[in-house]
Structure 1
Amino acid sequence: MAQKSDLELRWTNKDLELHAVGDRAYEWLSRSDERAAAPVSLREITTLGHEDDRPSGTIVVGDALHALRALTRVPEGHGAGGVRLVYIDPPYNTGQAFAQYADSLTHSAWLSMLRDRLVALKPLLSPLGSVWLHLDDAEQHRARCVLDEVFGPDAFVATIIWQKRTTRESRSAFSSNHDYIHVYAPAGPQKWKHSRNLLPKDPAELRNRDNDPRGPWADAPFTAPGFRANQHYAIVNPAGEVLQPPRGRSWYATQPVYERLRSENRIWFPRNGAGLPRLKLFPDQLKGLVPFSLWGPDEGGTNDDAKRHLMALFPDVEAFATPKPEQLLERIIHIGSDPGDLVVDFFGGSGTTAAVAHKMGRRWIAVERSLETVANFMIPRLTRVTRGEDSGGVTETVGWRGGGAFTVSEVAPTAGEERPLDWDEVLRASELQSSDQRVSGGNRANSRVTVAPTLFDIENASESHVA
């Protein structure tokens, strides 16, 4: 239960729900409207990929609100509490109309759109799950208030500043070169940090300054914050200077431990022996690095990196205006999940989250409202990933060689809202009607999704993926 805050962001029609109409439009509904309470389900259309592999992901065509509510109702209660990481890259409320999104909602509609989908997502999160909301300047400050309202202010972990471009926009008052990624964990940052993964040490930081036969090593200060009486003693460095801990700090360990480390050649004195002691750490002793909240191009890539990748994959299709690079998603998924965990993106876009999750051995669900985007980007991109035909992005970094399978599902329309889709035409548009692809689904008018419980099946997750 989110902690109640004494601050509240108010907006027009906040007490109404914002429901999707068609591929782009929205309408306000009273919560008592039968359409707001109408049950929704998922309907499996086809399975694509390697025939002998168990599907490890699914593309869901439909609005995120309906899809998330349908996932909470998957058979046998598998849905609730099964999602480890959610990455959300919603349409930025910038007033621009992109080729893929009608990105011109009013502030009130945008806030309701986000709030309703976060509320629907909440029951799906695992106890140690996290939500990563990616935004620009237009709504990020208001979105923080919505996140506080849904998850509670104590769930806030960090706001990451990601440098999305390295070029200068000379036409603007300021060149906007960064985005924001708000990270929330319902368990709270202290509990969540024990389950998140640290970043690997850069091998370039390992050096062998003293020709140690054990090989290269990193080093860390042999001091600790605070005063501890048994960790205050004199240390004599090789230059003959008698050292005491710096003001407000203690030595890292007690004197007997220091003497043992010194005898094991685990203590190093910089400045030719005239500096303070430092602890030598060999590769097998490195725990990794706590992530900074500022990510530059070397850590997270740029929009231009992502555009080049998409243009290589789809040279004849107009690329997204602000696609996210696989390098950025690889970093997020590494920190917030482990192999076999379930990753969800309910604004799937070009399929970056799904592609990276698949390459990294995670299960995944990607929801996308635009059938055109699914046909032009998501299905062909994920198919190339399974075939091992995508050499860009993080393919080399994570050692991806192809494999696996995924399903395509749609949100089953409720009574009176039937909008039949010509899926054969969609698959032809995706250039996927090839002999090595598996196409199934049976009676599409009546079939119900069967992959969702599989995706939430943690015990058998390792069987569903081929690296």
Structure 2
Amino acid sequence: MPIKYIPYYPNTVEGQAILDNITRTQRVLRYRENDKVYDRIKRGMPYYEVETLETVGEQSENLVIRGECISACAYLKEKGIKVDLVYIDPPFASGADYAKKVYLRRNPKLAEKFAAAEQEMDIDELKAFEEKMYGDIWQKEDYLNWMYENLLAIKSIMSETASIYVHLDSNIGHYVKILMDEVFGQDNFLNEIIWHYENKFKFEFTTSFNRDTETIFLYRKNQEHIFKHIKIPVKNKRMQNEVTWDKERGKMVTKKDADGNVIYYQSEDKIVGTLWNIARLNSMAKERQDYEYATQKPESLLERIINASSNEGLTVVDFFGGSGVTAKVSNDLGRKFIHVDIGINSIQTVRDRLKESKANFQILEIKDGVSLFRNPQQTMDKLATLIPGLQKGVKGISNFWFGAITESKIGIVPVYVPNLLNTQEKVLDIPTINTIINQELQNLEVNAKKVILYYIDIDDQKALEKFIKDNNATEMEVELKDLKNLLHDVVIEDIIDFKTTKTKDGYETEIIKFISDRLIQKINEFNQKGNLQSVAKGKTFNPISISEGGLELIELIAVDCQNIEEQWHSTTEIKIDKLGYVIKDGVKTKEFWDGKIISDKKPLRIKVRNISGDETIKAIE
């Protein structure tokens, strides 16, 4: 449950655009449940409990936040934190699923043999499987309502001189621009920037032109905003006419000498316009993170944005932070940064990336109930197997319902589960209940005596139960269930077998065995699928196998010699990259991991992160 709701603005209703003020926006967002969006905005942004997980380096104002955009904005607003530049690269409503490759690490004993033979690791030999990171599967109207609420929340924490860059594509960008005209005002629209990447491979067999551009909309919050023109070098020097400001005419004019001749000079650079020719990252780019975010943007793109619209010492935020490009570049350019993302892999990737850059920051987690697995997409994928007896695609049950179960005494029971990818469905409230009992119950084509409604958050359970009792015209029983209870019951921690030994120089902790049921299940699924596909093609399948010790499943090991509980402090840590090389306390080496971690002081607890991002912390006796 949220601690409270925080208004987007001092007076949200009067004078603030909320869906019904501009006819065009009504058309863009028109659908049968628009009143729910209006009600949520009137209620305000949900403010949840926030836990500090770790402080990296010295205390600073830089933040890495695991949570959704709206709840992160609520936290920032509650703490009085204003941001000076926003860059967001949200899902594009493209209908695509995005996956990352998960690489098994080298067994430390095998890595020792490679080192002895002075052999390089061959990336083609690495074993890997894919895991879905998030699904960009949206109904257009749902996506636009979600974006509308996000934009309102973001605007509420922008400083008076702030700007926002929204990165989209041709699939949804023109719709979002209409929303931005309403939220920020048409007068505050500055540019439509076209990012062109020439290095995208072009196919000859397509039936339309190959897409090699994306769109970035630039808006300011107010008339007074930070902006500096960016100059880039040109290959060949050229003659350029000088210009000057004509006060009387109120515009720039060509500069002339006393005889009226145009004054020229040799130019070695040019001012950047709205067509940005910047290469996109290919699969082998050095900037690529281990998790290989398919949509990772090049640092040069963010450098241009941050240099143009912020000054040193100001705060830059990315609410869909992904691989952490915005935070990393902001830190490099002397800006403060806030990185927000819902996925644990994003938080871990940017944490390790910023640590390598010697950045100082805090890691916070918003306790909003959706961070139960690595990301909401994986939670949704898992739910179908967690609800006992759930069947999908039951005849007479619409897509509104997650599925149905069959109880021996009462028959078919439809089951509702909120879509954790959609903020709008996270809170079970009266508008949602009203839709269910006055519409969805009436539309059921099965003779159901009962329905089950799962929730992550519930607005006011007593008020909801009274509303159901007073307004349910059917004889169906409506049972409310907390989804968090179901999910917490099935989360199984990884098993770590280790021993700590006192040495003459300090302490040595050795990992003897590592078992991850979740990863083993994932690998087994990969092997079964691969074997079936290979048999069908008449080929031999080479399955992924792990050693008895299972150390190939480990990505990071850290020990805390300072705290026995609460906020984690990494006294020393070792990360193993996908080639098996060690990154020790953020410094890359060409050493292989030997299964141990050394500390000067006695470790109080140990943290192990597996290759998919699950972290387990154990006390050291």
Which of the five TM-score ranges fits, normalised by the shorter chain?
Answer: 0.5 to 0.7
Tell me the alpha carbon deviations over residues 54-75 of structure 1, each in whole angstroms, 9 at most, x when there is no partner: 435211011111111111001x
Q: Which residue of structure 2 lines up, in the alignment, with residue 303 of structure 1?
A: 281
Q: Which residue of structure 2 lines up, in the alignment, with residue 141 of structure 1?
A: 174
Q: Counterpart of 1:168 in structure 2: which amino acid?
A: K
Q: Find the aligned partners of 1:142 and 1:439 in 2 and give their Cα distance.
A: 51
Matching of residues 309-324 of structure 1 within 5 Å:
309-311=286-288, 313-314=289-290, 317=291, 319-324=292-297
Q: Counterpart of 1:187 in structure 2: which amino acid?
A: N
Q: Which residue of structure 2 lines up, in the alignment, with residue 380 of structure 1?
A: 352
- Note if contact 1:164-1:303 (Cα within 8 Å) is conserved in structure 2: no
**Which of these residues, 159, 164, 169, is aligned with residue 203 of structure 2?**
169
**Which of these residues, 42, 45, 64, is aligned with residue 69 of structure 2?**
64
Q: Which residue of structure 1 lines up, in the alignment, with residue 566 of structure 2?
A: 443
Give, in angstroms, the shift of residue 182 of structure 1: 0.4
Give, in angstroms, the shift of residue 440 of structure 1: 6.9
Q: Which residue of structure 1 lines up, in the alignment, with residue 30 of structure 2?
A: 11
Tell me the alpha carbon deviations over residues 156-195 of structure 1, each in whole angstroms, 9 at most, x when there is no partner: 000100013422133432200000000010214xx43xx3
Q: TM-score, normalised by structure 1?
A: 0.63
Q: Counterpart of 1:72 in structure 2: which amino acid?
A: K
Q: Which residue of structure 2 lines up, in the alignment, with residue 156 of structure 1?
A: 189
Q: Counterpart of 1:431 in structure 2: which amino acid?
A: L
Which shows bigger deviation, 37-46 or 102-111?
A: 37-46
SS at match of 1:15: helix
Q: Find the aligned partners of 2:88 and 2:364 in 1 and give their Cα distance.
A: 20
**Which of these residues, 54, 60, 78, is aligned with residue 46 of structure 1?**
54
Q: Counterpart of 1:379 in structure 2: which amino acid?
A: R
**Which of these residues, 277, 280, 303, is aligned with residue 330 of structure 1?**
303
Q: Find the aligned partners of 2:46 and 2:243 in 1 and give their Cα distance.
A: 61
- Note if contact 1:219-1:278 (Cα within 8 Å) is conserved in structure 2: no
Q: Find the aligned partners of 2:335 and 2:171 in 1 and give their Cα distance.
A: 32
Q: Which residue of structure 1 lines up, in the alignment, with residue 505 of structure 2?
A: none
- Note if contact 2:232-2:271 (Cα within 8 Å) is conserved in structure 1: no
- Note if contact 1:46-1:439 (Cα within 8 Å) is conserved in structure 2: no
Relative to 1, partners in 2 of residues 1:357 and 1:423: Cα closer, same or farther, differing over 3 Å?
farther
Q: Counterpart of 2:230 in structure 1: which amino acid?
A: L
Tell me the alpha carbon deviations over residues 258-301 of structure 1, each in whole angstroms, 9 at most, x when there is no partner: 89xxxxxxxxxxxxxxxx54244899xxxx9643000002xxx3
Q: Find the aligned partners of 2:255 and 2:494 in 1 and give their Cα distance.
A: 64
1:187 lines up with 2:222 in the alignment: yes
Give, in angstroms, the shift of residue 15 of structure 1: 3.4
1:73 lines up with 2:50 in the alignment: no
- Note if contact 2:54-2:363 (Cα within 8 Å) is conserved in structure 1: yes
Higher RCO (CA < 8 A, seq sep 6+): 1
Q: Counterpart of 1:182 in structure 2: which amino acid?
A: F
Relative to 1, partners in 2 of residues 1:32 and 1:143: Cα closer, same or farther, differing over 3 Å?
closer
- The structure with the largest alpha-carbon Rg is 2
Relative to 1, partners in 2 of residues 1:423 and 1:186: Cα closer, same or farther, differing over 3 Å?
farther
Relative to 1, partners in 2 of residues 1:424 and 1:40: Cα closer, same or farther, differing over 3 Å?
farther
Give, in angstroms, the shift of residue 154 of structure 1: 1.0
- Note if contact 1:135-1:181 (Cα within 8 Å) is conserved in structure 2: yes
Q: Which residue of structure 2 lines up, in the alignment, with residue 96 of structure 1?
A: 96
1:124 lines up with 2:96 in the alignment: no
Relative to 1, partners in 2 of residues 1:11 and 1:156: Cα closer, same or farther, differing over 3 Å?
same
Tell me the alpha carbon deviations over residues 358-405 of structure 1, each in whole angstroms, 9 at most, x when there is no partner: 111110111110113323x2222222222xxxxxxxxxxxxxxxxx31
**Which of these residues, 556, 564, 580, is aligned with residue 431 of structure 1?**
556
Matching of residues 212-223 of structure 1 within 5 Å:
220-222=240-242
Tell me the alpha carbon deviations over residues 38-97 of structure 1, each in whole angstroms, 9 at most, x when there is no partner: 43243211011x3xx3435211011111111111001xx3x2xx2111000001111111
Matching of residues 385-400 of structure 1 within 5 Å:
385-386=357-358
- Note if contact 1:44-1:441 (Cα within 8 Å) is conserved in structure 2: no
SS at match of 1:356: helix
Q: Find the aligned partners of 1:424 and 1:69 in 2 and give their Cα distance.
A: 37
1:198 lines up with 2:229 in the alignment: yes
Give, in angstroms, the shift of residue 220 of structure 1: 3.8
Relative to 1, partners in 2 of residues 1:101 and 1:310: Cα closer, same or farther, differing over 3 Å?
farther
- Note if contact 1:221-1:279 (Cα within 8 Å) is conserved in structure 2: yes
- Note if contact 1:2-1:149 (Cα within 8 Å) is conserved in structure 2: no
- Note if contact 1:47-1:439 (Cα within 8 Å) is conserved in structure 2: no
Relative to 1, partners in 2 of residues 1:200 and 1:224: Cα closer, same or farther, differing over 3 Å?
closer
Q: Counterpart of 1:110 in structure 2: which amino acid?
A: Y
Give, in angstroms, the shift of residue 330 of structure 1: 0.6
Q: Which residue of structure 2 lines up, in the alignment, with residue 393 of structure 1?
A: none
Q: Find the aligned partners of 1:197 and 1:158 in 2 and give their Cα distance.
A: 14
- Note if contact 1:344-1:364 (Cα within 8 Å) is conserved in structure 2: yes
Q: Counterpart of 1:291 in structure 2: which amino acid?
A: V
1:348 lines up with 2:321 in the alignment: yes
Percentage of identical aligned residues: 23
Bigger strand share: 2
1:252 lines up with 2:255 in the alignment: yes
SS at match of 1:304: coil
Q: Which residue of structure 2 lines up, in the alignment, with residue 278 of structure 1?
A: 263
Q: Which residue of structure 2 lines up, in the alignment, with residue 450 of structure 1?
A: none
SS at match of 2:34: coil
Matched residue pairs, number? 341
Give, in angstroms, the shift of residue 412 of structure 1: 2.6
Give, in angstroms, the shift of residue 224 of structure 1: 6.5
Q: Counterpart of 2:297 in structure 1: which amino acid?
A: K
Q: Find the aligned partners of 2:227 and 2:494 in 1 and give their Cα distance.
A: 40
Relative to 1, partners in 2 of residues 1:157 and 1:228: Cα closer, same or farther, differing over 3 Å?
closer
SS at match of 1:31: helix
Give, in angstroms, the shift of residue 123 of structure 1: 1.7
Relative to 1, partners in 2 of residues 1:251 and 1:296: Cα closer, same or farther, differing over 3 Å?
closer
Structure 1 alignment gaps of length 5 or more: 18-28, 207-217, 230-248, 260-275, 387-403, 446-467
SS at match of 1:383: helix
Q: Which residue of structure 1 lines up, in the alignment, with residue 144 of structure 2?
A: 111
Q: Which residue of structure 2 lines up, in the alignment, with residue 291 of structure 1?
A: 272
- Note if contact 1:56-1:362 (Cα within 8 Å) is conserved in structure 2: no
Tell me the alpha carbon deviations over residues 402-421 of structure 1, each in whole angstroms, 9 at most, x when there is no partner: xx311110113377786889
Q: Counterpart of 2:352 in structure 1: which amino acid?
A: P
SS at match of 1:132: strand
- Note if contact 1:46-1:440 (Cα within 8 Å) is conserved in structure 2: no
Q: Find the aligned partners of 1:334 and 1:439 in 2 and give their Cα distance.
A: 39
Relative to 1, partners in 2 of residues 1:157 and 1:336: Cα closer, same or farther, differing over 3 Å?
same
- Note if contact 1:61-1:411 (Cα within 8 Å) is conserved in structure 2: yes
Q: Which residue of structure 2 lines up, in the alignment, with residue 244 of structure 1?
A: none
Q: TM-score, normalised by structure 2?
A: 0.48
Q: Find the aligned partners of 2:204 and 2:231 in 1 and give their Cα distance.
A: 37
